[in-house]
Amino acid sequence: MMDPDTTAFLASALLFFLLYEIIQHFTRRRRQGPYPPGPKPWPMIGNWFDIPFYRPCETYLEWGKHYNSDILHTEVFGQHTVIINSREIADELLEKRTRNTSGRIYFPITQLLDWGYNIALMVYGDEWRRHRKACQQHLNREAAKSYQPIQIKKTHEALLALLQSPEKFAAHNRMHSLGITMDMMYGYQLKSLDDPVISAAKKAIELGNQVWSQTGSLINTFPILGRVPTWVPGAMSQKITKESARWTAVMKSIPWEDTKRRMAEGNITPSLLTQFLERKATVGASEEEEEILKNVAYTVYGAASDTTESATGTFFYAMAKNPNVQKKAQAEIDRVVGTNRLPDFTDRSSLPYIEAIYREVMRSAPPLPLGLMHTLAEDDVCEGYFLPAGTQVFPNIWAITHDPNTYKDPHAFQPERFFNEDGTLNDDDRILAFGYGRRVCVGKYVASSTMWITIVSILACFDIGKAKDERGNDIEVDDEYVEHGLICHKKPFKCSITPRSNLSRKLIEEAAGECK
């Protein structure tokens, strides 16, 4: 148990914080005007019990209808949160006012989890700018092309896996999503999903997601609680963060040590970090630059693999449910690429319907339905409502991409919505799933090309349909999604994946053989 002095100190700090937030709450409201509408908060705890945990994107859309507002507000222990259900308001706040809305809330638990390396979670400031500059240098539109050979190689390996055991498509999807980022960042070759780096990352994220949110742990509201020893009864957050940090350290060390070992042996595989180590050995580089690029690699591995897995899962689901879309796409591939080779990146500009499928996958089920929060550096006013400094702002990307005023029949999978009347692609090419403003996904060009080559390659080689039961009847695929932390995934389902022809089978086997 804690000693009396520590107990008294914690109690006093908690009381002081609550009194301070109560005073701030009422004086700000009187001085600045109303907050956006939302559920009525309880005294002191605010909307703690109102925050939705299952499909919050849909709940917030329903709130918007109930309150007749596209901007909503909640408050938990003095922390204000705004949810935006409208493209226009999101653009106004997060695109036009980027100077004020590029921040990230600082969760004290981030450092306890050892997640400070994650660029997406960094607070807005000089450290973030240095990392952002490195990302722009190594992941921009032109630099992204250097990763195309890896993307093609890994996609061809995924095709072979689908050919050999199509019933395990979900596992192959995860292997592909993880393997492609590990190869691009480190040159690290995953052999199976039992790889120690995968196991470590999974454990770190599963544990960390339990506490990394405003309501996930009281440490994020009362940082002083982070100093409570793990042996104190009830200190669950402290135990979780310690264990998660241990696995995070393992996840970070394995591919980095493997990269250095292979470099020392002369076994160099082109990747972000092997290229950096080569340059460091010849012209030199600072320790800071090394740390930044390691953080870039960790971030891309953690963020890109999960979001790619989510989007590819949506693709399989959409094709199983929409055979007419699939047939139209395959007809375009056969006409442009032919049947004697597999597609490559030179075909992208000539395959508009594949491009439309990619856009529709990202529209219909954005991997992060609520995006990542932005925070206000200063007090602001939007739509006549007061937004105090420090407010978290979440763009409800799912609600925006399902607005029937923009997308007719938004729950239907219709790539045709991205075409003009003359058959050309329209200008609706902005993938909102990549985020907003200065905090837009730094790896969006790499992510886009990974998704495109995956989609076009699978469609070129396979027919995807509903699985059959023992009587030969279709097994229907439900529409449910599940959430793992901030990321949304299609609920596991069965489908049929068969090669389109013997020639397709031969092309896959030949391409996979070239990868060895």
Q: Which residues are annotated as a binding site for heme?
A: 441
CA–CA distance, 415 with 245 (Å, rounded to integer): 42
Residue 488: closest CA among 167, 54, 49:
54
In 3-state terms the chain splits into helix, strand, coil percentages (rounded to 5) of: 55, 10, 35
Residues 6+ apart with CB under 8 A from 5: none
Specify the 3-state DSSP secondary structure of 49.
coil
> 79: burial class by Cβ within 10 Å (0-12, 13-18, 19+)?
middle
Tokens of 12: 């006093």
| Sign, Cα dihedral of 294, 298, 304, 305 | positive
CA–CA distance, 496 with 485 (Å, rounded to integer): 29
Residue 176: closest CA among 187, 165, 192, 199:
192
Radius of gyration of the chain (CA): 24
Tokens of 131: 């990392």
DSSP H or E run through 386: strand 385-387
CA–CA distance, 441 with 452 (Å, rounded to integer): 17
Specify the 3-state DSSP secondary structure of 342.
coil
